[in-house]
Amino acid sequence: MSEIAFARSIASEVEPANLGLSGPSALTTVLLIARITFREAVRRRILVVAVLAALGFLALFGVGVHAMLQNMRLKQGLLQQREAVAMMSTMALYAGSMLTSLMAALTSCDTLSGEIASGTIHAIATKPVRRWALVFGKWIGFAGMLSLYVLLLEGGTILIAWGQTGRILPHTGEAIGLLWVQALVLLGVSLAASTRFSAMTSGAVALGLFGLAFVGGWIEQYGALQHVRTCVNLGILSSLIMPSDALWRRTAFRLQPPLLGSAGIGPFSSLLIPSTAMVMYAIVYAAIAILLAVLLFERRDL
């Protein structure tokens, strides 16, 4: 054993004190905060409620599909049945993506803003931890939980559809990936807002932007149908401000079975399909949101 290690071992026997430590490493901090974020969701019952909502959703969907198929089996062929299930699954995924986005925004809007408002942050930010690691740790914690949630909700929906028809929808992996990015976009915005604003305001910012994208998507679709360039441009602009709806429309497009043509305007068909570039933009957007959160928190007086 080297002299220093030996001296340290003696010192720790005599006085288990601060041996000139300079604080935890960045990775340790990030993991510590991520774990505590997860523990918070469990202990404050957020996770339980969210999971119960998801299970209720899946149960409703499962029963609905089953009932529909039972009805159809007598009158219609396999092809129509599969199309119907595909349609219903897309509807369910649309609702599911909204539920996930809501969860992403509402569970994370309170995290930093609540701690700043209550003063809980004071005893934490004065420890030898890097501020960016605190924000990033929270993001990892929430992103981890959202990932599992997407797998449960959206993955569960797809599995139920497969279970009922024996046929899986096309590009389900990509669909789940896109909805995962959508959740992370909302998470990023909510987290960034919560470094500056109260919990309610942060939630309102995230959901307000979501609503903006939602309306913008409809305007863009209408513009495409009616050949109104301005509407299309407005829609594109809204997608740049908040790419959540663009991500859904690409998901819907990728989930369309080849035989199901675009059935007119609706959330389950895309006349204007967001490009891969838009998906890349959304990923960068989510990353920038975190960077913004880190920067804002770094500068903020607590």
Partner 1 sequence: MLVRPSGGHGLLLGHPLGSREVRARIGFLPEHFRFYDWLSAAELVTFHGRLCGLAESHLRRRVPQLLERVGLGAQASKQIRTFSKGMMQRVGLAQAIVNDPEILFLDEPSSGLDPAGRKLVRDIIREQRDRGATVFLNSHLLGEVEKSCDRVAFIRSGEVIEEYEMNAWQNGSLEVEIRVRHLSPEAMTWLAGNTEDVRVEGDRVQVRVASEHHLPAMVRCLVECGAEVFSVTPQRVSLEDLFLQTMGPDPGL
Site residues, partner 1 (CB under 8 A) = 12, 15-18, 21-24, 28-29, 32, 36, 39-40, 43-44, 118-120, 122-130, 299, 301-302
Residue closer to partner 1 (CB basis): 28 or 275: 28
Nearer Cβ to partner 1 (66/127):
127
Closer to partner 1 by CB, 11 or 215: give it: 11
> In terms of CB distance, is 136 or 285 closer to partner 1?
136
Dist. CA 107–CA 110, nearest whole Å: 7
Closest by CA to 257, choosing from 43, 81, 67, is: 81
How large is the angle between the packed helices 276-299 and 244-255, nearest 10 degrees? Answer: 150
b/e sequence 246-283, b meaning 16+ C-beta within 10 Å? bbbbbbbbbbbeeeeeeeeeebbbbbbebeeebbebbe
What does each C-alpha distance from 120 to 126, 127, 179, 291 come to in angstroms?
11, 12, 33, 23
Say if CB 190 and CB 206 are below 8 A apart.
yes
Shortest Cβ distance from residue 206 to partner 1 (Å)?
23
The least CB distance from residue 108 to partner 1, in Å, is 16
The nearer residue to partner 1, 16 or 166, going by C-beta atoms, is 16
Nearest-approach distance from CB 170 to partner 1, in angstroms: 43
CB atoms within 10 A of CB 10: 10
Decide whether 40 or 174 has the Cβ nearer to partner 1: 40
Q: 159 to each of 147, 168, 221, 285, how far by Cα in Å?
A: 17, 8, 30, 30
CB 253 within 8 Å of CB 273: yes
Least distance between partner 1 and beta carbon 143 (Å): 20
Distance of closest approach, residue 8 Cβ to partner 1, in angstroms: 12
How far is Cα 192 from Cα 140, in angstroms, rounded to an integer?
A: 14
Residue 26 Cβ vs partner 1, minimum distance, rounded to whole Å: 10
In the DSSP assignment, the letter for residue 256 is S
Q: Which is nearer to partner 1, 32 or 271 (CB)?
A: 32
Work out how close the CB of 110 gets to partner 1 at its nearest, in angstroms, rounded to a whole number. Answer: 13
- Report in angstroms how near the CB of residue 24 gets to partner 1 at its nearest: 4
Q: Could you tell me if 250 and 185 are in contact, meaning their C-beta atoms sit under 8 angstroms apart?
A: no
The smaller minimum CB distance to partner 1, of residues 138 and 254, is found at 138
The answer to whether 157 and 89 are in contact (CB under 8 A) is yes
